[in-house]
A and B are shown apart, each in its own frame.
Chain A
């Protein structure tokens, strides 16, 4: 089993909150012990409730799930924040007394695990005794050291009582628009540790008798910028939680508390078995290896940080091995991952593991029964000290999604190989896009209010290509199964930024027989703002996805902004304006519609801290595309024609990458000459053979470069960081390149920054017990 038990039996055996008389902590430890002993969740080798009356079991599951979905839809209307109201960035989940997820609503499902981690933290650290847990209490958590993804996901947690016994929990989470971090926006940028990430609340009791406490309201409001949204978001969460709690009380009154409690355990075991069956029916046993990378570009002057030691370029490394065993159990092993760092892209172990289910539910477990059963059916190895399981309490997490999204994209490929091998081509997906750019910022808005913004347009990024069709264009984000770019009119109400264009981002989807979905680009003009500043966030130097089975990765991002644009005069004079597409950044056109003294930024530094923007300045929000599938020279000519006529592919790349021989008719419509294209593609195959070399020869040549450590600072930093925590990765690396056994690259050696090799763990704090939910073993090289 995947659970690493830190059991410290409570000898006092005082009367606890559970119906059995056990304390919450003893109860949870017993659940874990029964799970460990039997291999089945809570020792449920049989499921008496389900076996006795499977129809009743299903009906109860559907009923509870409907309550959760209904509460989400109703509560959502309370929020004013477009992130919640338009994008649906909220989620409600029911937990059993042990803090394991029973059922969840639609929405940002990653929080099935993160809110559960907060409940487990309260259980493990005996909140039952102090601050005490009573009917009508509310707890608030957004602490990334406990398991939250990033501080802006704020959770309200409400206990469910029956006859003065705690019989479950309900958690509700919303993605708030601002969290009072160093810079405005929900996922602020530029800080490099927890101490700039914004307000962090550790399972604090924030309400009694169903009412928020006044000290909490006063304190929290003055620690965030967008106060109105903050208050309404909290009311959204509270309303949803209370709605669910009240309806659960009705359910209990009807079916009886014994049945309700049994159901809350059995359905998790049901979920565990469901995953195992699904693995056997869809995958192929064996070992699958994949890797992904994303950039950490902190050195550039556009990234201002308060500490020089954070001004380091590096690269996130996320290697994984999926091991699928004969019995349908599996292990996801991330040995070799790079260490945590001085940036805001670190992730807690729970955010990492829980988030994986968000996309697994889109193919491997595509049902509404998302609960902790899948977690109990999966072994995770996340070495302690890596970016996905930091062993340091100072780590920053505000933009954890940069790494999470970058890391998970490779898992699609591993599973895709299974689906492809079995002939379930309909399930294959080449991977997800990096969901960026994040347009964030703040200042005085068009209504004269102090305000912060975070455009959620990347909720409609391009999706990965499939093995039978193109990826969806501007339609999806890995973290929210209900992709939606939001209405321009609503964003214009929320942001002092006028739309000068919203168009498909040509060439952003990865090339392939089936093309990756394209993202889109919106050009915003700052309008009626004062003291306004904005950031850029996303990948630029590195593209995280790879393409699959001959397909190419998607495009990487870039940055466009313009200041002192002269647009005020140009509008007054009726002259041309920059509108719509930034067609081909190799031959920029917008610049022809700007004043002579305009200052234009075009570069790959897509991470930038707050830069001032004035009215009539321009900001490009470029939403990324997905990777491709299959050799591009096998793409159908008709699909390519549609690409050209719909502006999905730039003509010169249709020729260079796809071998298209195309011409435009008198009306400008593209037509492909099939025969000439076929001939061109045959020639391309011969050219490929002629200019490539045998892999074994290339390895010999490249090994010299590796031995000599010939690589950029960021490349060296990534390897040094990964070697530090993994003897296996170092030894495999040496073996592949036939390096001598003393070859090594260390943090702190010539040219490789080494600040921060010592860690300060969370449980070095007095009275703190960490909740460990993964195998976090580390075997470091002895000679590091």
Chain B
């Protein structure tokens, strides 16, 4: 079993890990302790005290609120986007590109989708303006709730880590 240092995991997060190390990560059996190292790396990069439980994206986490012990979705900037089991997108801002002109801001007209077939929805943190996700559905499509993790089973049975206290 190969193992990696916290620095290497940090470099992977930053996209700076040398390719031969990434290649080893790809081709060798997975290192079980990666998850813990990863959480440590992520935790050191945020300015708030809440414990990161799981990363939903480069700037979006499920965290345990330091005071209330409730599990919530939280942007790196500190903005809370609903409880962990809720769809964080319902707490975001949205910008919809559903005309030729708005799609043409992203691509030449012929290389963009046609607005009568497809639209592009940008989900923005209302506090810091980072774009957490982009949907590209057919008009009328319900906003997807993409990921409902079973964190209890994951911590307890799969990675065998103590489950952070949960008040909700």
List the interface of chain A (C-beta within 8 A of B): 280-282, 284-291, 293, 295, 315, 317, 324, 326, 366, 413-414, 417, 420-427, 467-469, 507-508, 511, 513-514, 540-543, 545-547, 549-553, 555-558, 584-586, 602-604, 630-634, 650, 653, 656-657, 684-689, 691-696, 698-699, 702, 705-706, 711-712, 714-715, 718-719, 732-733, 736-737
Q: How far is the CA of A630 from the CA of B132 in the complex (A)?
A: 8
- The answer to whether B108 touches A507, judged by C-beta atoms less than 8 angstroms apart, is yes
- The answer to whether A603 touches B93, judged by C-beta atoms less than 8 angstroms apart, is no
- Does chain A have a CB within 8 A of B46? no
Q: Please, could you name 18 A-B residue pairs with CB atoms under 8 Å apart, sorted by A?
A: A282-B30, A287-B148, A289-B145, A420-B55, A422-B35, A423-B9, A423-B55, A426-B22, A546-B135, A546-B136, A555-B108, A586-B109, A634-B58, A688-B95, A692-B124, A695-B93, A702-B140, A736-B143
Considering the complex, give the chain B residue whose CB is closest to the CB of A279. Answer: B158
Known: A511-B106, A633-B131. 8 other contacts (CB 8 A): A285-B154, A513-B15, A513-B58, A557-B111, A558-B111, A586-B104, A632-B131, A688-B95
Q: How far is the CA of A696 from the CA of B109 in the complex (A)?
A: 30
Q: How far is the CA of A650 from the CA of B107 in the complex (A)?
A: 9
- The answer to whether B144 touches A295, judged by C-beta atoms less than 8 angstroms apart, is no
What residues on B are CB-neighbors of A585 within 8 Å?
A: 108-111
What residues on B are CB-neighbors of A287 within 8 Å?
A: 147-148
- The answer to whether A714 touches B117, judged by C-beta atoms less than 8 angstroms apart, is yes
Q: How far is the CA of A113 from the CA of B97 in the complex (A)?
A: 40
Q: How far is the CA of A666 from the CA of B93 in the complex (A)?
A: 43
What residues on A are CB-neighbors of B57 within 8 Å?
A: 420, 549-550
- The answer to whether B146 touches A689, judged by C-beta atoms less than 8 angstroms apart, is no
- The answer to whether A715 touches B139, judged by C-beta atoms less than 8 angstroms apart, is yes
B75 CB to nearest chain A CB (Å):
12
Q: How far is the CA of A604 from the CA of B110 in the complex (A)?
A: 6
- The answer to whether A468 touches B136, judged by C-beta atoms less than 8 angstroms apart, is no
- Does chain A have a CB within 8 A of B105? yes
- The answer to whether A586 touches B110, judged by C-beta atoms less than 8 angstroms apart, is yes
B80 CB to nearest chain A CB (Å):
14
- Does chain A have a CB within 8 A of B130? yes
- The answer to whether B143 touches A541, judged by C-beta atoms less than 8 angstroms apart, is no
What residues on A are CB-neighbors of B123 within 8 Å?
A: 695
Please judge, given known A-B contacts A469-B15, A513-B58, A712-B116, whether A285 and B150 are in contact too, CB under 8 Å: yes
Considering the complex, give the chain A residue whose CB is closest to the CB of B14. Answer: A468
Q: How far is the CA of A421 from the CA of B55 in the complex (A)?
A: 5
- The answer to whether B117 touches A542, judged by C-beta atoms less than 8 angstroms apart, is yes
Q: Which among A293, A546, A692, A699 is the interface contact of B138 at CB below 8 angstroms?
A: A293
Interface hub of A422, A511, A602, A714 (most chain B Cβ within 10 A): A422
- The answer to whether B95 touches A691, judged by C-beta atoms less than 8 angstroms apart, is yes
Q: How far is the CA of A469 from the CA of B92 in the complex (A)?
A: 27
- Does chain A have a CB within 8 A of B34? yes
Q: List B residues 56-104 near A (Cβ within 8 Å).
A: 56-59, 89-96, 104
B35 CB to nearest chain A CB (Å):
5
List the interface of chain B (C-beta within 8 A of A): 9, 12-13, 15, 17, 22, 25-27, 29-30, 32, 34-35, 37-39, 54-59, 89-96, 104-114, 116-118, 120, 122-124, 126-151, 153-154, 157-158
Considering the complex, give the chain B residue whose CB is closest to the CB of A540. Answer: B114
Considering the complex, give the chain A residue whose CB is closest to the CB of B103. Answer: A556
What residues on B are CB-neighbors of A421 within 8 Å?
A: 54-56, 147, 149
Q: How far is the CA of A412 from the CA of B154 in the complex (A)?
A: 20
- The answer to whether B34 touches A422, judged by C-beta atoms less than 8 angstroms apart, is yes
Interface residues of B: mostly helix, strand, loop or mixed? mixed
- The answer to whether A550 touches B108, judged by C-beta atoms less than 8 angstroms apart, is no
What residues on A are CB-neighbors of B144 within 8 Å?
A: 289-291
A609 CB to nearest chain B CB (Å):
20
- The answer to whether A547 touches B136, judged by C-beta atoms less than 8 angstroms apart, is yes
What residues on B are CB-neighbors of A281 within 8 Å?
A: 29-30, 32
Interface residues of A: mostly helix, strand, loop or mixed? mixed
Q: Which among A426, A542, A688 is the interface contact of B131 at CB below 8 angstroms?
A: A688
Q: How far is the CA of A413 from the CA of B147 in the complex (A)?
A: 10
What residues on B are CB-neighbors of A291 within 8 Å?
A: 137, 141, 144
- The answer to whether A542 touches B118, judged by C-beta atoms less than 8 angstroms apart, is yes
Considering the complex, give the chain B residue whose CB is closest to the CB of A546. Answer: B136
- The answer to whether A686 touches B129, judged by C-beta atoms less than 8 angstroms apart, is yes
B6 CB to nearest chain A CB (Å):
11
- The answer to whether A694 touches B93, judged by C-beta atoms less than 8 angstroms apart, is yes
B131 CB to nearest chain A CB (Å):
4
What residues on A are CB-neighbors of B146 within 8 Å?
A: 288-290, 413-414, 417
- The answer to whether A688 touches B124, judged by C-beta atoms less than 8 angstroms apart, is yes
Q: Which among B22, B130, B154 is the interface contact of A284 at CB below 8 angstroms?
A: B154
Please judge, given known A-B contacts A326-B153, A689-B129, whether A711 and B90 are in contact too, CB under 8 Å: no
What residues on B are CB-neighbors of A293 within 8 Å?
A: 118, 137-138
What residues on A are CB-neighbors of B37 within 8 Å?
A: 423
Considering the complex, give the chain A residue whose CB is closest to the CB of B19. Answer: A469
- The answer to whether A550 touches B133, judged by C-beta atoms less than 8 angstroms apart, is yes
What residues on B are CB-neighbors of A656 within 8 Å?
A: 105-106
What residues on B are CB-neighbors of A705 within 8 Å?
A: 139-140
- The answer to whether B130 touches A631, judged by C-beta atoms less than 8 angstroms apart, is yes
Q: How far is the CA of A714 from the CA of B118 in the complex (A)?
A: 10
- The answer to whether B134 touches A552, judged by C-beta atoms less than 8 angstroms apart, is yes
What residues on B are CB-neighbors of A285 within 8 Å?
A: 149-150, 153-154, 158
Considering the complex, give the chain A residue whose CB is closest to the CB of B26. Answer: A426
What residues on B are CB-neighbors of A685 within 8 Å?
A: 128-130
Considering the complex, give the chain B residue whose CB is closest to the CB of A543. Answer: B113
Considering the complex, give the chain B residue whose CB is closest to the CB of A363. Answer: B26
Q: How far is the CA of A557 from the CA of B34 in the complex (A)?
A: 40
Q: How far is the CA of A558 from the CA of B108 in the complex (A)?
A: 11
- The answer to whether A286 touches B105, judged by C-beta atoms less than 8 angstroms apart, is no
Q: Which among A417, A425, A469, A688 is the interface contact of B13 at CB below 8 angstroms?
A: A425
What residues on B are CB-neighbors of A694 within 8 Å?
A: 92-94, 126
A589 CB to nearest chain B CB (Å):
13
B31 CB to nearest chain A CB (Å):
9
A758 CB to nearest chain B CB (Å):
26
What residues on B are CB-neighbors of A737 within 8 Å?
A: 140, 142
Q: Which among B12, B94, B112, B130 is the interface contact of A425 at CB below 8 angstroms?
A: B12
- The answer to whether A542 touches B114, judged by C-beta atoms less than 8 angstroms apart, is yes
Considering the complex, give the chain B residue whose CB is closest to the CB of A293. Answer: B138
Q: How far is the CA of A693 from the CA of B32 in the complex (A)?
A: 41
What residues on B are CB-neighbors of A711 within 8 Å?
A: 139-140
- The answer to whether B110 touches A602, judged by C-beta atoms less than 8 angstroms apart, is yes
A97 CB to nearest chain B CB (Å):
33
What residues on A are CB-neighbors of B104 within 8 Å?
A: 586
Q: How far is the CA of A557 from the CA of B106 in the complex (A)?
A: 14
- The answer to whether A541 touches B129, judged by C-beta atoms less than 8 angstroms apart, is no
B97 CB to nearest chain A CB (Å):
10
